[in-house]
């Protein structure tokens, strides 16, 4: 008897059968009711089948690859942890990079997971739906593995344990939170431009450089491996973001102005979000990889510039903010570090003044700005600290209504002056850090009048530890911020004299001496 | 014109409307060319607060860490409310000085440009 052996399917056929073939048009309910979000943003799609699947990956293959990555990753993490890997990092200041990263990044990976899960539901075409579902799982994986790699450090160093509580409460985490809240409350196409394109494509390398290369340079095998493991997913994410842009632009000429406005908006929002990442590169990594300025030139000006040249054939122009980001690349990291340095009682990580060697490195990397605008201030603050008068600014900052950065950036063209912008909406004033944030507000004021600005919320009495009687006669808002934030007192203050510094020195001595 | 697109009617209130401050209003203060501080800082105060309290208490508390603070010649200080020049009367209240909710008071101290002239 002849056996009928089914022919092994080719990759393309397999992909079709396992994705698009599994989708159907609904008949009990009209498609526009099943997919209520695809039309309201004004993006016109005529034929979902024209979507090119940039990555022909089926779910079963996906699980197989990812499981393999996880096995390798956790083997390395285990080895690192068992061998007291934390003592092999360059110096204990490095732990503060991890603390800042832990508060700011894994929670946003989780938001990305949520966002892409929503895209996996609301994108009408089967191709993008499958790709978004996979990305949702990737982002969830990034969230978990980042926390796992840092959890080992949490056994030894202060200030890491309450990052989840702090995410929606701490003043300096509001910018990232607002970034994702803005994206996820937009429609599916704007979300794809915001996260899939502007963040994943244009700006993602700036985030990975300090994290992966910074970890590698500073002896943190655990974080480095997590970074590489995540980065291997990024190629897929970038392609998805870019494909989505091209798809929208090819489907209807009316989509162009909408897409352009989103690109302008999200490139700027992403740029603002990355100021603190740049600060890690220039000030926090004990062993530097490259300056933020150099990274910006390589990844954003060159690579991003080439990308926008490529998109010019669709009518897309370079984001409006590009010129300003180029001017600011010589300033923002210094402005941000001074901003954190002045608040030793309000972050779960330590700050410090760079050593003389490190200042020389900054002078060399920032020949136009460091010596002129920033070195004298840092040297002054250093002298004050040594005289027992360390800077501790107690006032609550003013923030931009859109990006929620503290107002600290200079007026374009004049590094001596603070940049202020304001709009009035329904009789109320709103303040911004820049022209670009003001324009974002003016385009959708209804959205940004709801911004959560930590200093304002404190003054309204909304930031109190559980059990506070806000109606008591002697109630004064904001008296118990450390408890509200759950800030570990050992994690506060200057790095010099911190428990982390002492413990690291003592443990390393034990590990390396008889 | 707003570009906001929604699936349903969308009515929201400002999170920082003056009613949320129980009789107080927000005030931002910035010392121009002295960016070392929590930059402009924000206060919530009753509109009856005398302007002198702003200078003698809040500004002094914050800015006296800066070596320029003692050097200020108050007769030469140039004041702005937002972008509009104005001359505050120390003995009058915020309200009488025309200072409303979320106004930004900027003051410039000619000749004082921060640590080593850096604007910080
Ligand atoms: Fe991710
Ligand atoms: Fe990603
Ligand atoms: Zn802004």
* End-to-end Cα, chain B, rounded Å: 38
Number of the ligand closest to the Cα of A199:
2
Domains and CATH numbers, chain A: 91-512 (1.10.620.20)
A465: Cβ–Cβ under 8 A, 6 or more apart, which residues? A480, A483, A484
Q: ipTM, 2 decimals?
A: 0.97
Q: Rounded to the nearest whole angstrom, what is the distance from the C-alpha of residue A237 to the centroid of ligand 2?
A: 5
Ligand 2: centre distance to CA A122 (Å): 19
How many CB atoms neighbour CB A244 within 10 A? Answer: 26
Q: What pLDDT, on a 0 to 100 scale, did the predictor assign at position A251?
A: 97
Tell me, yes or no, if B119 comes closer than 8 A to chain A by beta carbon: yes
Of A408, A444, A450, the CB nearest to B35: A408
Please give the mean pLDDT across all residues of chain B. 95
Q: Which two structure tokens, joined as six digits, stand for B34?
A: 């002295």
SS3 of A477-510? CCCCHHHHHCCCHHHCCECCCCHHHHHHHHHHHH
Report the predicted TM-score, pTM, of the whole model to 2 decimal places.
Answer: 0.95
Of A37, A376, A452, the CB nearest to B15: A452
Residue A119: closest CA among A107, A101, A137: A137
The pLDDT assigned to A17 comes to 87
Query: How many contacts (CB atoms, under 8 Å) link A and B?
Result: 155
Exposed (0-12), middle (13-18) or buried (19+): which is A59, by Cβ within 10 Å? Answer: middle
Q: CB contact, 8 Å: A426 with chain B?
A: yes
pLDDT tens for chain A, 514 residues: list them: 567 777 788 888 888 888 888 889 999 999 999 999 999 999 999 999 898 887 788 888 999 999 999 999 999 999 999 999 999 999 999 999 999 999 999 999 999 999 999 999 999 999 899 999 999 999 999 999 999 999 999 999 999 999 999 999 999 999 999 999 999 999 999 999 999 999 888 888 888 777 788 899 999 989 899 988 888 898 899 999 999 999 999 999 999 999 999 999 999 999 998 888 899 999 999 999 999 999 999 999 999 999 999 999 999 999 999 999 999 999 999 999 999 999 999 999 999 999 999 999 999 999 999 999 999 999 999 999 999 999 999 999 999 999 999 999 999 999 999 999 999 999 999 999 999 999 999 999 999 999 999 999 999 999 999 989 988 888 989 999 999 999 999 999 999 999 999 999 999 999 888 7
**Two structure tokens written together for A93:** 């200041």
Interface of A with B in 470-489 (CB under 8 A): 477
Bridge-based pairing of strands B41-45 and B78-81 is unpaired
Task: Inform me whether the C-beta atom of residue B15 falls under 8 Å from chain A C-beta atoms.
Answer: yes
Of the ligands numbered here, which is closest to the C-alpha atom of A435?
Answer: 3
**B18 vs A213, higher pLDDT:** B18
| pLDDT of B14 over the 90 cut | yes
pLDDT for res A355 = 97
DSSP one-letter code for A197: I
pLDDT at B2: 86
- Interface-testing mutation among B36, B109, B113, with chain A (most A C-beta atoms within 10 A): B36
What is the residue-wise DSSP string for A45-65? -S-GGG---SS---HHHHHHH
* Residue count of chain B: 120
Q: What was the pLDDT predicted at A5? A: 75
- Selection from A145, A99, A404 nearest residue A275 by Cα: A404
Q: Is A412 helix (H, G, I), strand (E, B) or coil?
A: coil
Q: Identify the pLDDT of residue A266.
A: 96
Q: Using CB atoms, pick whichever of A422, A445, A460 lies closest to residue B20.
A: A460
Q: Where are the alpha helices (DSSP H) in B9-56?
A: 51-53
- Using the mean position of ligand 2's atoms as its centre, give its distance from the Cα of residue A200 in Å: 6
CA distance A350 to chain B (A): 17
Question: For chain B, which domains are there?
Answer: 21-117 (3.10.20.560)
């Amino acid at each position: 008897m002849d056996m009928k052996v089914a022919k092994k399917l080719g990759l393309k056929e397999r992909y079709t059968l396992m994705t698009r073939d599994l989708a159907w048009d609904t008949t009990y309910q009209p498609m526009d009711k099943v997919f209520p979000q695809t039309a309201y943003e004004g993006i016109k799609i005529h034929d979902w089948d024209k979507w090119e699947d940039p990555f022909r990956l089926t779910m079963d293959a996906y699980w197989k690859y990812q499981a393999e990555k996880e096995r390798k990753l956790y083997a390395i993490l285990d080895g690192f942890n068992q061998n007291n890997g934390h003592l092999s990092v360059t110096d204990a200041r490095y732990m503060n990079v991890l603390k800042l990263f832990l508060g700011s990044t894994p929670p946003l990976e989780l938001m990305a997971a949520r966002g892409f899960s929503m895209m996996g539901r609301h994108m009408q075409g089967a191709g993008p739906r499958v790709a978004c579902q996979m990305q949702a799982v990737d982002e969830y994986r990034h969230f978990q593995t980042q926390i796992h790699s840092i959890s080992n450090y949490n056994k030894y160093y202060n200030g890491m344990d309450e990052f989840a509580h702090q995410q929606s409460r701490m003043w300096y985490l509001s910018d990232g939170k607002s970034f994702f809240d803005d994206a996820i409350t937009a429609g599916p196409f704007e979300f794809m431009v915001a996260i899939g394109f502007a963040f994943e494509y244009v700006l993602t390398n700036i985030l990975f450089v300090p994290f992966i290369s910074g970890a590698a340079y500073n002896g943190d095998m655990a974080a480095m491996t997590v970074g590489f493991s995540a980065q291997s997913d990024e190629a897929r994410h970038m392609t998805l973001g870019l494909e989505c842009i091209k798809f929208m632009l090819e489907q209807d000429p009316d989509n162009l102005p909408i897409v352009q406005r989103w690109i302008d908006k999200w490139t700027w929002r992403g740029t603002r979000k990355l100021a603190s990442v740049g600060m890690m590169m220039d000030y926090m990594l004990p062993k530097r990889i490259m300056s933020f300025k150099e990274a910006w030139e390589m990844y954003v000006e060159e690579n991003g510039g080439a990308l926008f040249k490529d998109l010019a054939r669709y009518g897309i122009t370079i984001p409006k903010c590009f010129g300003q980001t180029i001017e600011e690349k010589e300033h923002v990291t210094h402005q941000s570090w001074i901003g954190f340095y002045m608040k030793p009682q309000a972050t779960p990580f330590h700050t410090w003044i760079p050593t003389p060697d490190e200042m020389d490195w900054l002078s060399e990397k920032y020949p136009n700005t460091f010596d002129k605008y920033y070195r004298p201030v840092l040297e002054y603050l250093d002298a004050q600290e040594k005289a027992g008068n360390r800077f501790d600014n107690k006032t609550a900052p003013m923030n931009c209504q859109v990006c929620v950065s503290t107002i600290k950036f200079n007026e374009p063209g004049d590094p001596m002056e603070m940049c202020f912008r304001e709009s009035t909406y329904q009789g109320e004033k709103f303040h911004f850090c820049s022209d670009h944030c003001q324009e974002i507000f003016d385009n959708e004021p209804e959205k940004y009048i709801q911004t959560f600005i930590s200093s304002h919320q404190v003054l309204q009495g909304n930031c109190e530890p559980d059990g506070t009687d806000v109606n008591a006669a002697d109630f004064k808002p904001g008296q118990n911020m450390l408890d509200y934030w759950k800030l570990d007192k050992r994690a506060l203050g200057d790095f010099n004299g911190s428990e982390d510094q002492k413990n690291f020195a003592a443990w390393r001595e034990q590990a390396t001496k008889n | 014109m707003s570009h906001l697109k929604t699936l349903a009617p969308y009515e929201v209130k400002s999170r920082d409307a003056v009613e949320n401050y129980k009789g107080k209003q927000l005030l931002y203060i910035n010392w121009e060319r002295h960016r070392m501080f929590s930059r402009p800082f924000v206060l919530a105060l009753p509109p009856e607060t005398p302007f002198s309290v702003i200078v003698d208490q809040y500004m002094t508390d914050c800015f006296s860490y800066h070596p320029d603070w003692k050097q200020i010649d108050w007769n030469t200080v140039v004041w702005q409310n937002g972008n509009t020049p104005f001359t505050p009367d120390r003995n009058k209240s915020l309200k009488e000085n025309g200072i409303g909710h979320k106004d930004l008071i900027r003051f410039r101290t000619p000749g004082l440009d921060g640590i080593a002239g850096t604007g910080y």
